[in-house]
Structures are given as C-alpha cells and as structure tokens.
C-alpha cells in the first residue's frame, strides 16, 4: 500500500490549469491514472470535474506525458489537464464561494495503478479556486504546452512516497546517492534476513531452555542479586558470528557478490530475477548504503534478542573476538604493547551515564562512528560524556575472567557476561507454563470474571492495539489490555472507544474496530479473544462487558461459576430455599423488587430497568437487539401467556419464554393491542427515542392515559388483616377528625416544588453557637458558627456549598460516616451510604448560605417551596410552560449566546481596532483569540480558517499566531498547524516522532520530536505582510540542541533551561516569504511549535485544538506548565485584550462522561485559563448533537456548561442553537430537511455549510455591540 501524500495546488476561476507531477523511482508506462475534484472529501454524487486517463493534450483528464529510463532511476511525468470552468452548481461547474469575491476551497485526489500492481491513492489535497475579475465570453481551451518544470516532484521507494512542491532540484542529493545502492541494498537485505533469523533462533533456544529447567534449578531465579545463581545463561552469542563453511565468509555477507539480483530465498519463489527498485526495497524512505542498512538490521536483531534475553548486569565481554591481549589503550585511543594487559572490544554504553568497573586503568570514549571523543579517567567509577556510544578499557589479562562493568556508582558481586532471564520474569514464565484450572484463582476452572472482563493485571502500558493488524504500537498516552476471552457473534460494550482487535482461538488477528466504532461492538463469528486500547488516564476505570450498553464501572473480579461445582455447594451459592440463614440478610438490604407482595403498577415499563438498551431496537424476527440511535429497547417485561396488552407506541417487539428464549415477534402493523402467545413469560419492545418519556405498556385491551412506572402493593399477597388496613376502605378513617387544622406541611402536597437551596434555617436541628466536627460528626461549641440540621442527601451525588468549612456525612440512622473540611472546597460528593449531611456555617455567612445539588455553586435563593402551576386548576392561566421553555433548570436562559456582554475587554478592543482602521483613532492595539478544543478546531479548513480570515480582514492582521508542530499518531502529515493554512504551510523531513494530546508545557498538548540525523520540521510563510517576530517554543533538555535557518545562515540553538520545562526564544525572520526549518542536531529535541506575529495592530488567532482530545487530556498534563505556555502566547493588557474560547464535548461524550463531570472539567480548564491570563475573557462552548453518540445527551452537556458560565460570570455559546433542534434537521444520516451540515461520518460538521455556521456564530459572539 502506497502512503499517499498531500499535494495542494490552485486554479483560477474561468481559466484552464495544467499541473505537472514528476515521479522519480518508477516507470509508469501502462499505468492507469484517475483523478477527481469534489466540493468536499467523500462528497456524494458526481464530482465537480472527472479526470480519467487520457492521451490527448487538449482533453480534460490525467495524462502520462513522458518517461525516462536512461538514468540511475526511472522518471515519469504526470500532467493534470483541468479545463476552464464556469460558475454554477452543475456537473463541470465550480460552485460559487460563500461570499462574493471570496476564494473557494475544494478537494482532489488521484488513484494510480502501475502495470501489474495494485491500485492505491498516491496524491490528495485541497485545491484553492481563486476569484477572478476578467470574465471572458468564451473559455480558454487546453493546449499542448512543451513539458514544463514540474509543479511537484514525488519520489517513490517501496511503499513510501515523498513529495516536494515546485523544486525538482531539491531531490538532487537523493539522486547523488543512487549510484551503486541497489547492490548495497541486496547485500544489506541478506544481512538483515540473517540477523532476524539469528534473533529468532536465540529466542527459540531461550524458550527451550526455560521449558527444560528442573525444579531445583528454578530456585536459582528467586533473587537476581544472588551471586551463586541469580541468573541462568540461556544462550551464547556464538550463533551470531557463524560463517558459511564453504567460503569462510560470515553468513550475513555470503551473498554480497550478487549485483542487481534478488536473493533466491527471499520468499518470492523466483530465484535470480532482476532487482526492482520500489518493489523489493520496501523498508527504506531513501536509498541507503550497505552500512546504513546493516546498522539498522543489527539494531533490530539486537532489540529482539534484548526483549527475549537481556544482558545481565555485567556489560563487558572480556573474551569477545575484538579483545586484544598484550596491549593497553591510551587517552588518544591508541594501543601500546604490554604483556600484562588486554584491551576490551568496543563496549556499548549510554551517554551521560555512570558506570563502575572491577579493574581501573586507562580507557577511552568513542562516539557512534567509533571516533575518539576523549580519554577516560583511571578511576573505577566514571561518567560517560555526551555523544558516547562505546568505551574501550584496559584490563589485567590475569583477571579477565572476573572483569565486570556495570551501571551505577558502586561495585557489586561479579556475575559472568551473558544473556539471562531475570528473576523478575519468572512469575510470568511459570504462569504461562501452568495449564488453566490448575493453580491460582484465575486458573481455577470454576471461576470467571463477574461483569468487567478486563483484567488490569495483564494490561500493557505505553502501547495501543492497531485495528488494522492487531499488533501493539508504542504510544505513551495509551494502554493495551491483555487477550480477553470472548464468544463469537456476541455483543459487548466498552467504556472507552478507541482502536481494538478481534482474534481467533490461536490469537491470530481477524479484524479490528477503531474509535469511530462506538461503545457497543459485536464479535465476529470465529472470535475467541479481544484486545482493546484505552487512554492511560482512563485505564483505572476501564470496563469491557457483555451487553448492548455500557454500565457503571465495576472492578475486575473473579467469581465462582456454580455450574462446575458439586450440587450441594452450587445450591448454597445459588440460594436454594433454606440454604441462606436469616442472619445473613442485614436489615434494609432487600429492595422492593425482591418483595413477593410488590408488583408493577398500571405501566409495566420501568425506564430504570438495567436491561433497557438505548440506541437499539428489538428485532421481531429473532428477538435480538440491532443498533439504531433513534430507538430504545425495553428490558424484559414480565407478562402472562394468553393475556392482552396495550402499548402506547407500536413498532417491532418480541415475546420470550421463562428462560428468555425467543418465541415470536410482532411489528408496527400489528397495532397497539397485542396478545402474549402460549409459553410467553416476557416481552421486549422497541420505542422511538422521542416517545420514550411517555411510553406505556399495560395489561388490557384499551390504551389508557400515561402513568409513570410505580411499584404498588398487591393486597392479595398480604395477610388479610394487613390488606384490610391498607385498603381504601380502611384508610377512609383519615377524615376530618383524623387531620387537625393546618397539620399538613407544604412539603406533603403535590402542587409544591422545593427550592434548589436545601438548607432550611428554620430546621429544629439547626444549632447556633456550634460547629460540626469533620472528624467525628459531633457538635463543638463556638460562638462564631452555626451547625445546620441534618439535610437529606443522595449517596454518590455532587453538592455545592456557598461557605466551605467542616462538615460531616451520616447514614440513614444518622450515624457518622466521614467528614470534609475547608480545604475540600465548595464542591463535595456524598460518600457511599450517606443519607444526611450536616455543615458548619459562619454566623456572618448564614443569611445567604446555600447547599445545593450540582457541581458548581449558583446564585443564592431562599429555602422554601413554590407553587407548581401545572398542578393547580386551569384558572387563572399559567405562564409556567413558557418560562420552562425559555430557561434551564438552574435558571440560565436558553439560546445560542449566554451573556456575550461579559466579553467586555474583547468587544472594547475590537471596537477600538475598528476605529483605528477607519482613521478615527491612532491608539495601537492587538487582540488575541486562543481556541482550546478538539478536532472541530484542529482542522482549520472546517471553520477556524474562515473565522481567522474574517476577523483579520475586519480588524487587522497581527499575524498567523500559533503554528503547532505536533502531528496525530500514525498520521505524520497531519500537523496541528495554524488557523491560517493559506499563510503557513507545514512539512517535515526524515522520520520525526510526535507527542499528541499529552505533552507537558505545550500550548496545544502536542509536539514534534527530532531524534535522529535528517529529522526536521519546516514552516513556509507565504503572506504579504512581513513577520516581525517569531517565538519558538521548546521543551528544555540537557545536552540537546537544534539548528534553524530561513534558507540561508544556519544557527545552532541549545535547548537550555530546567529539563522538561516549557521555554521560548524570540527570533527575527527575514522580510517577505521564507522557509523556517528546525533540524535535529543533538539529543532528543521536543518542539511544540512557534508563534508568528506581524508588527501591525489587529487580531492574532491561536488554534490550539487537538484531534480526539477530551477535557481529561487538558487536565491530565502539568497544569502549571500549561498555564505558563498559554501565558507566553498573549500580549499584556496594556496593549490589548485576550479571549479564551474553550470548546469540548464530542470526545467526552464518546467516553460516556457524565454531564456533571463535564461541567466540572470545563470549569477547571476555564479557571486554569484565568490563572494563566487573569485579564482574559472566557467563552465556553458546547457542540451540537452528532449522529454517533447520544449518551449522555449533548443538551445535558450544554446545560451543565451554561450553569458553570453563570456561576463564574463567563459567556457561553451553545452551537445546538446554530444548527437545529434535532440531528435529523442538519445531520448526514437520516436527514429530513435536505440541509446537510455534517460529514458522512455523522461526527464532524462539514467545512462549507457547517463550517460557515460555526464561524458565523463565533463572530457574532465577539463582535462589538
């Protein structure tokens, strides 16, 4: 598969475009070529222009212009022949831009099928359609121009395709290295093959030796510091230097003499065929020398061997083939004859690391090329200097057998040099050798996981599971589960949605699902195991379970499965009558559902039933659940066979026997009245999401008015006397004489609603002159405080208090559980078992003290009750419905914008910039707009570019702002970049690494990692306004530096500062356009990005979005460093104003984060922004409903975040109001309006209409009054 590359280009509206790509490394004679241009990626229907393969220079299409096979590498020239197009909406016409005179961005890609090879996408990217002035009556035709200089140069080596725009000369260094490299590659391939085989052989030998260890020898592994037997050698290195007995040449080089021929044993089955560059050399992105590939192969083989059998603590082999007896080494690395001594071979070591040796004499340090760095100390303990890769040491020949080199500053007992199995690995080895059902709780055949199937004991931190191959890929932000047993064709739910894989019984990969696959999965028919990826931050609460919906987290726990136990023991565990003594049931431990005399009321549907499955419907054909976000499946509702039932909503349903096995089903056409068939014991029904709140399933042949589900007492199941007492007749004694005048408090009536303030100052238990001890719950006298009464609470619920001091939680019997203090802050959570709270309030704060449910304190309201108009007679008329429609429960008004006037500094500075632009003011100013978010922001063309260009056109261009260098894992061309990709283009050289959504000290949580020669990041500025200041952000690291240039003089920059901290350096770039390149020099350089500013007044926009980020990612990094990084991006208030726009939620919803937690997290991020920039305006934002996730509902996020904005006096933008009431109005799947504003993934707004709605709403939020 070819790794497709981005190739952007532009066309002028009304003019033809010829775009030529020079492809180096392959002859495309006979290849099929096909390209298309569409309005958006994955746009349905006909393309704007279709470009099939053509041979005529005057016809629209893709044409192979020429090829050249005379040089070292074959070269092909491809030409895109794009005709002139008029403006319109039909086929072959360019759609108009959103605004008259604006440029339009559309998209293209090209698929290439070389002769005899597979079809792959090679090129893709945006096409900028520039608005024009001159309009001709006739369109200019395509003409056959001579072959021009190429617009782009592509180099293909194996599956790796690299592209350079408008600069064929840039690949000259690659061509210069081509001479003779084909034969070198063959030689090195043989070397790599041999090394890999040797590593495999060593691993096999290790496994065989472990398997053959006798029991007495196993004891020697108990302590790896045990001199007598702490390690057991499992293999020698002799196999790694074997030679071909026929030639005496090392096996790795036995085929070095073959030139331009493929090895006969390369797995192709074709011996001696011509070597095909681009097909046989698939590992390399350049044309490496033999030495380079050999070094790579050595490293890979060594890594395999190290993983199986690492070196022991003795790092020096005194008997290696390279040891020279009868010499010593001096400080210059030279050997001098002396019969007393020997010189070690080149011993691999780490730079800047302390070692201790058992014999101290002269030594020398060498770099990776084995060039002398410096002479070493004669002390036993030494520290290697920077760049050290090897040491050679003088040792006494007589004591070679006991020479030891080890890490650390102290000598320890000698062990021989060799590869060993450390004792720490033995438990895993022994566990793997013991058959299931013979040892440990996990091995017992009658145990199984309770509900959570994911055992954290076998998680692998620092890796994720590839959904493409099932292999583990290193990434510090993720953790991979172990192999979890599953059943083929079953439904499972996961609490965190990311890449996962299914495997058969031999743990061979079958297929995979990525994060877009949602929370609910169905295993393939032949699946026996699953392995899943989870963010490390969520690993502690990750849950994988059987079922069609995620449930509350439960730790992994093995329980006894009674089916494999003796009958008597199984009966006891299952609760056979008489087997459970009454004393085993604590008082109050049985719920209503366990009582034989309690049954459902009229409405048999219990929405709180754990079996209710949102996002699914019940198949009438087989009773199984099928995923559909528009429906909810009820739980199993008990029914009686032969009885008639009425349902308030008619759709597919199914009947089941007592074992919950499917009997038959019914559909919409069967109407509202249905009859349970013979043998039926349960029913399960499908309900539209819109009808769920009032759905009713009841016994009888007529549907009646809706009543909420409520259990009632079945009088017939009670003793006669008790039944009579509870009957309506018996209760009639509660007449006039039974109720005294004014004896019923307002809390008992149905038409009164309690205030959100739970503190009743009139409670008889309120104790002035006392405070509540958080240590015991007792009252202690103190005239400055008042203790509240016992306030009812719900365990597990979050509460906010307006005054924070000592408080206590109590059980239903008012027994003390635990307490909290002032340091615990305003927001507290009731612990398990809590039924009451009692709080301490200062006398001065008593008059306005409020204790309420929720994750943030709100404005004060008095304790008490208000009349519910809906429960009163219809006259006089009530406006309560209108009030409820306009307000959230916490009192904030609904609508697109909440309190935009709180963005006061933003609106003032933008007004001042408007006056400056009009010549009404001479006061310079800047306005910084920092946008913290997820992929909705990360992809600039979606809406951030539109927003940034509009604001800078209207208020002045103070610069492109933040340009993020980090890229998404596995997508090395998807840089975070800037809000103005039309001004700043990003590319990289070499193979730099990345940190994404996890980098401490990075404003956007990401950074590129330059770690090897050739690694570089490049930003090209093409704007018309000069950049006056470029601020480079880096993470300080010892002995690490980078080089940077603007196409000329190279400057070295040490990454100085406290290691691991965020640092900046200001650089003055040249005038005009330029390439800013930052290159690897030494160490491992972590570079988050740069901030580009002009010298003009105006707006600068910092796009800080990270694809896939959740609120937890922004709170998981070092908060002080993140605040410092944000602070470094803004101008002081004396110059202008700053806005923080914080918008998250879509990815939090995919992980089922509760709305209350979402609100608390958004508040924490907003407070961090205020810590970073105290004068900043804060705008919180929530996205519209998407078509992929519905739990928790996105409107619940909007309500929780708006409540935070109200409490903190911030502004809020609810994008739901900008898009529509329901997803069907604007979504892709199930659209009912024809107004499609979302992409086909049902997860992201599309960039034309949805992007315009986003940009327009945000401009409306910030513009002056």
Q: How confident is the model at residue 70 (pLDDT cuts 50, 70, 90)?
A: confident
Instruction: Set out the domains of the chain in order of their start, with CATH numbers.
Output: 5-168 (no CATH), 181-308 (no CATH), 324-417 (no CATH), 451-556 (no CATH), 599-712 (no CATH), 746-869 (no CATH), 887-958+1097-1265 (3.40.50.1110), 962-1095 (2.60.120.260)
Calpha distance 1257→84 (Å, rounded): 35
Calpha distance 1185→1188 (Å, rounded): 9
Has residue 177 got a pLDDT over 70? Answer: no
Among 675, 677, 639, 680, smallest CA distance to 656 is for 680
Has residue 448 got a pLDDT over 80? Answer: no
Has residue 881 got a pLDDT over 80? Answer: no
Has residue 842 got a pLDDT over 90? Answer: yes
DSSP 8-state symbol, 219:
G
Residue 139: predicted pLDDT: 57
Cα–chain-centroid distance for residue 112?
Answer: 32
Q: Considering only 175-179, 552-556, 1139-1143, 1245-1249, which range has the smallest mean pLDDT?
A: 175-179
Has residue 908 got a pLDDT over 60? Answer: yes
Calpha distance 345→611 (Å, rounded): 69
990's torsion region: left (phi>0), alpha (psi -120 to 50) or beta? left
Rounded mean pLDDT of the chain? 81
Mean pLDDT value of segment 269-283 = 34
Q: How confident is the model at residue 232 (pLDDT cuts 50, 70, 90)?
A: very low
Mean pLDDT value of segment 497-526 = 91
Among 50, 41, 156, smallest CA distance to 106 is for 41
Please say whether the beta carbons of 939 and 981 come within 8 A.
no
Among 1158, 1173, 1141, smallest CA distance to 1260 is for 1141
Residue 1260: predicted pLDDT: 93
Highest mean pLDDT among 91-105, 344-358, 1186-1200: 344-358
Alpha carbon of 285 to those of 383, 618, 993, 1013: distances in Å? 36, 52, 15, 14
Mean pLDDT value of segment 183-194 = 47
Other Cβ atoms closer than 10 A to 1035: 25
Residue 685: predicted pLDDT: 96
Has residue 114 got a pLDDT over 60? Answer: yes
Diameter over CA atoms, the chain: 121
Please say whether the beta carbons of 657 and 626 come within 8 A.
no
Has residue 967 got a pLDDT over 50? Answer: yes
Please say whether the beta carbons of 45 and 89 come within 8 A.
no
Highest mean pLDDT among 80-94, 103-117, 693-707, 1031-1045: 1031-1045
Please say whether the beta carbons of 20 and 151 come within 8 A.
yes
- Over residues 585-599, the pLDDT tens digits come to 454 455 555 566 667
Share of the chain above pLDDT 90, in %: 57
Higher pLDDT, 1092 or 291: 1092
DSSP 8-state symbol, 733:
T
Calpha distance 763→760 (Å, rounded): 5
Higher pLDDT, 150 or 727: 150
DSSP 8-state symbol, 69:
-
Residue 445: predicted pLDDT: 54
Q: Phi and psi for 346 in degrees, rounded to 5?
A: -70, 110
Has residue 251 got a pLDDT over 80? Answer: no
DSSP 8-state symbol, 5:
E
Mean pLDDT value of segment 549-559 = 86
Residue for token pair 């707004």: 1245
Highest mean pLDDT among 233-237, 358-362, 893-897: 358-362
Residue 872: predicted pLDDT: 58
E strands, 1041-1157, in order: 1041-1045, 1051-1054, 1062-1067, 1074-1082, 1085-1093, 1098-1103, 1136-1143
Which run of H or E residues covers position 572?
helix 567-574
Q: How confident is the model at residue 728 (pLDDT cuts 50, 70, 90)?
A: very low
Please say whether the beta carbons of 488 and 505 come within 8 A.
no
Other Cβ atoms closer than 10 A to 595: 13
Mean pLDDT value of segment 1221-1248 = 93
Q: How confident is the model at residue 245 (pLDDT cuts 50, 70, 90)?
A: very low
Residue for token pair 């103190």: 782
Residue 1254: predicted pLDDT: 96
Tokens of 140: 């200019």
Residue 592: predicted pLDDT: 55
Has residue 887 got a pLDDT over 80? Answer: no
1217-1233 burial string, b = 16+ CB within 10 Å, else e? ebbbebbebbbbeebee
Calpha distance 779→781 (Å, rounded): 7
411-440 burial string, b = 16+ CB within 10 Å, else e? eeeebebbbbbebeebeebeeeeeeeeeee
Tokens of 244: 């071909």
Higher pLDDT, 343 or 742: 343
Q: Considering only 11-25, 342-356, 391-405, 476-490, which range has the smallest mean pLDDT?
A: 11-25
Q: How confident is the model at residue 402 (pLDDT cuts 50, 70, 90)?
A: very high
3-state secondary structure 923-955: CCCEEEEEEEECHHHHCCCCCHHHHHHHHHHHH
Q: Would you mind telling me the total number of residues written for the chain in this entry?
A: 1265
């Amino acid at each position: 598969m070819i790794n497709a590359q981005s190739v952007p280009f532009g066309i002028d509206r009304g003019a033809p475009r010829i775009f030529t790509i020079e492809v180096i490394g392959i002859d495309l004679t006979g290849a099929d070529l096909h390209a298309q241009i569409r309005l958006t990626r994955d746009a349905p229907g006909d393309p704007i222009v279709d470009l099939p393969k053509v041979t005529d220079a005057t016809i629209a299409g893709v044409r192979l212009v020429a090829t050249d096979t005379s040089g070292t590498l074959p070269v092909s020239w491809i030409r895109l022949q794009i005709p002139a197009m008029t403006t319109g909406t039909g086929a072959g016409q360019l759609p108009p831009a959103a605004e008259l005179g604006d440029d339009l961005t559309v998209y293209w890609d090209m698929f290439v099928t070389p002769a005899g090879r597979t079809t792959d996408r090679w090129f893709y990217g945006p096409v900028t359609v520039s608005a024009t002035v001159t309009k001709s009556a006739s369109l200019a035709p395509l003409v056959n121009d001579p072959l021009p200089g190429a617009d782009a140069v592509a180099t293909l080596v194996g599956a790796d395709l690299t592209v350079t725009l408008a600069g064929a000369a840039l690949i000259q260094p690659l061509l210069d290295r081509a001479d003779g490299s084909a034969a070198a590659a063959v030689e090195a391939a043989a070397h790599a093959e041999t090394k890999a085989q040797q590593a495999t052989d060593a691993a096999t030998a290790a496994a065989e030796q472990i398997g053959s260890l006798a029991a007495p020898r196993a004891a020697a592994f108990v302590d790896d510091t045990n001199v007598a037997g702490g390690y057991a050698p499992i293999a020698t290195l002799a196999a790694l230097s074997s030679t071909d007995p026929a030639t005496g040449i090392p096996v790795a080089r036995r085929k070095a003499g073959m030139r331009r021929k493929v090895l006969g044993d390369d797995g192709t089955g074709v011996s001696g065929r011509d070597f095909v560059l681009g097909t046989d050399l698939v590992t390399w992105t350049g044309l490496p020398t033999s030495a380079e590939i050999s070094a790579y192969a050595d490293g890979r083989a060594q890594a395999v061997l190290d993983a199986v059998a690492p070196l022991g603590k003795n790092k020096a082999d005194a008997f290696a083939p390279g040891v020279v007896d009868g010499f010593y080494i001096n400080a210059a690395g030279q050997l001098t004859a002396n019969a007393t001594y020997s010189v070690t071979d080149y011993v691999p070591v780490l730079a800047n690391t302390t070692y201790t040796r058992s014999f101290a004499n002269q030594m020398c340090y060498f770099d990776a090329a084995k060039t002398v760095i410096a002479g070493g100390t004669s002390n036993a303990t030494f520290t290697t200097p920077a760049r050290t890769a090897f040491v050679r040491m003088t040792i006494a020949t007589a004591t070679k057998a006991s020479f030891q080199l080890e890490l650390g500053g102290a000598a320890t007992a000698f062990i021989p040099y060799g590869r060993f199995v450390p004792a720490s690995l033995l438990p895993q080895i022994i566990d793997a050798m013991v058959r299931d059902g013979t040892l440990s709780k996990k091995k017992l055949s009658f145990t199984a996981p309770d509900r959570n199937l994911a055992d954290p004991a076998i998680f692998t931190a620092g890796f994720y599971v590839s959904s493409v191959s099932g292999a583990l890929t290193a990434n510090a932000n993720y953790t991979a589960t172990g192999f979890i047993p599953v059943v083929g064709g079953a439904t499972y739910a996961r609490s965190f949605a990311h890449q996962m894989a299914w495997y058969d019984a031999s743990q061979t990969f079958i297929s995979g699902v990525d994060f877009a696959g949602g929370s609910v999965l169905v295993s393939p028919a032949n699946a026996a195991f699953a392995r899943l990826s989870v963010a490390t931050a969520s690993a502690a609460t990750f849950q994988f379970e059987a079922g069609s919906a995620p449930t509350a987290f439960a730790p992994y726990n093995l329980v006894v499965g009674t089916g494999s136990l003796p009958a008597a023991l199984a009966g006891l565990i299952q609760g056979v009558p008489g087997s459970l003594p009454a004393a085993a049931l604590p008082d109050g431990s049985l719920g209503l559902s366990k009582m034989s005399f309690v049954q459902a009321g009229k409405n048999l549907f219990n929405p709180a039933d754990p079996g209710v499955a949102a996002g699914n419907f019940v198949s009438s054909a087989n009773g199984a659940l099928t995923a559909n976000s528009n429906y909810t499946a009820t739980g199993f509702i008990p029914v009686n066979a032969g009885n008639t039932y009425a349902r308030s909503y008619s759709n597919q349903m199914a009947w089941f026997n007592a074992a919950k096995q499917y009997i038959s089903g019914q559909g919409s056409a069967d109407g509202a009245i249905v009859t349970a068939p013979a043998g039926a014991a349960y029913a399960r029904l499908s309900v539209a999401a819109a009808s769920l709140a009032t759905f009713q399933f009841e016994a009888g042949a007529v549907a009646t008015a809706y009543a909420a589900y409520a259990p009632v007492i079945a009088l017939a199941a009670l003793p006669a006397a008790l039944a009579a007492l509870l009957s309506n007749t018996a209760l009639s004694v509660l007449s006039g004489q039974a109720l005294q005048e004014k004896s019923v408090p307002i809390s008992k009536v149905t038409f009164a609603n309690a205030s959100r303030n739970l503190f009743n100052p009139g409670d008889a238990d309120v104790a002035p002159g006392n405070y509540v001890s958080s240590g015991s719950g007792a009252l202690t006298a103190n005239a400055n405080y008042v203790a509240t009464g016992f306030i009812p609470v719900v365990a597990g619920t979050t509460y906010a208090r307006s005054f924070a001091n000592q408080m206590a939680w109590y059980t239903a019997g008012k027994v003390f559980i635990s307490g909290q203090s002032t340091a615990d802050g305003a927001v507290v959570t009731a612990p398990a078992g809590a039924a009451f709270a009692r709080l301490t309030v200062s006398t001065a704060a008593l008059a306005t003290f409020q204790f309420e449910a929720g994750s943030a304190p709100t404005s004060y309201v008095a304790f008490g009750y208000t009349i519910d108009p809906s429960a009163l007679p219809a006259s006089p008329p009530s406006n309560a419905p209108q009030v409820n429609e306009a307000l959230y429960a916490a009192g904030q008004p609904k609508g697109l914008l909440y309190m935009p006037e709180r963005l006061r500094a933003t609106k003032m500075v933008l007004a001042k910039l408007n006056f400056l632009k009009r010549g009404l003011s001479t006061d310079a100013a800047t306005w910084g707009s920092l946008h913290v978010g997820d992929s909705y922001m990360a992809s600039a063309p979606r809406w951030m570019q539109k927003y940034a260009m509009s604001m800078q056109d209207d208020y002045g261009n103070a610069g492109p702002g933040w340009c993020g260098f980090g890229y998404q894992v596995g997508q090395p061309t998807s840089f975070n970049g800037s809000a103005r990709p039309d001004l700043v283009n990003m590319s990289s050289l070499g193979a730099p690494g990345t940190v994404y959504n996890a980098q401490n000290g990075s404003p956007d949580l990401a950074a590129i990692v330059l770690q090897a020669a050739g690694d570089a990041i490049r930003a090209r500025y093409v704007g018309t306004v000069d950049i006056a200041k470029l601020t480079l952000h880096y993470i300080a690291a010892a002995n690490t530096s980078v080089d940077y240039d603007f196409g000329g003089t190279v400057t070295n920059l040490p990454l100085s500062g406290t290691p691991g901290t965020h640092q900046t350096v200001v650089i003055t770039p040249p005038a005009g356009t330029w390439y800013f390149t930052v290159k690897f020099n030494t160490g491992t350089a972590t570079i988050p990005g740069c901030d580009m500013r002009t010298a003009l007044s105006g707006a600068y926009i910092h796009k800080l979005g990270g694809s896939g980020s959740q609120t937890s990612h922004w709170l998981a990094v070092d908060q002080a460093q993140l605040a410092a990084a944000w602070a470094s991006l803004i101008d002081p208030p004396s110059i202008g104003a700053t806005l923080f726009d914080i918008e998250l939620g879509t990815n939090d919803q995919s992980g089922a984060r509760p709305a209350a937690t979402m609100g608390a997290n958004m508040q924490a991020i907003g407070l961090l922004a205020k810590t970073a920039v105290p004068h900043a305006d804060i705008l919180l934002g929530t996205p519209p409903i998407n078509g992929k996730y519905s739990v928790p509902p996105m409107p619940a996020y909007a309500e929780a975040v708006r409540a935070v904005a109200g409490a903190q006096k911030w502004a809020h933008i609810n994008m739901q109001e900008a898009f529509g009431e329901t997803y069907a109005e604007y979504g892709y799947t199930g659209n009912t309006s024809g107004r499609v504003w979302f992409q086909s993934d049902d997860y992201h707004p599309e960039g034309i209409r949805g992007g315009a709605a986003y940009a327009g709403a945000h401009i409306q939020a910030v513009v002056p009054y």
